[in-house]
A = this chain, B = another copy of it.
């Protein structure tokens, strides 16, 4: 896939799997994200993922779409974590993140479903907004083989 095709896939899709690493142990979790120009925006409650990305900002986001076993695409983003702290310095970036995330109807769902087991454990909802600066984009696509 060309870089343009990868960007189109990122703009259309909103669910990905984010990988981070600490001491070379990878950790992968599903996230919802919004793509806007050079960044992917997302938010999260505090936890292992945020702790690890604060220590090591190198991340990888994999986004895929599959219609069937023979018809799929997968885009891999290598990037860097940037936390959008609730400070004047990041006020504009946070507003931008919120605007980008609101384009996806599902954006609030994943991290904020009341009653979900992990939310009950996590206590009051304290969203952490962050973005991933896209350093490198690669994509693969498979399409069904046409009979000769």
Q: Which A residues lie at the B interface, using CB under 8 A?
A: 1, 17-30, 56, 58-62, 64, 69-70, 72, 74, 76, 78, 106, 109-110, 113-119, 140-143, 145
Q: Name the prevailing secondary structure of the A interface residues.
A: strand
**Copies per assembly:** 2
Q: Are B113 and A28 in contact (CB under 8 A)?
A: no
Contact assessment for A60 and B143 in the assembled complex, using a CB-CB cutoff below 8 Å: no
Q: How far is the CB of A45 from chain B (nearest CB, A)?
A: 12
Q: Smallest CB–CB gap between A132 and chain B, Å?
A: 12
Q: In the bound complex, what is the Cα–Cα distance between A110 and B73 (angstroms)? A: 11
The answer to whether B24 touches A56 (Cβ under 8 A) is yes
Q: Which of B29, B70, B74, B113 contacts A29 (CB 8 A)?
A: B74
The answer to whether B58 and A145 touch across the interface, beta carbons within 8 angstroms, is: no
Of B60, B110, B113, the residue contacting A27 (CB under 8 A) is B60
Q: Which of B72, B109, B117 touches A70 (beta carbons < 8 Å)?
A: B109
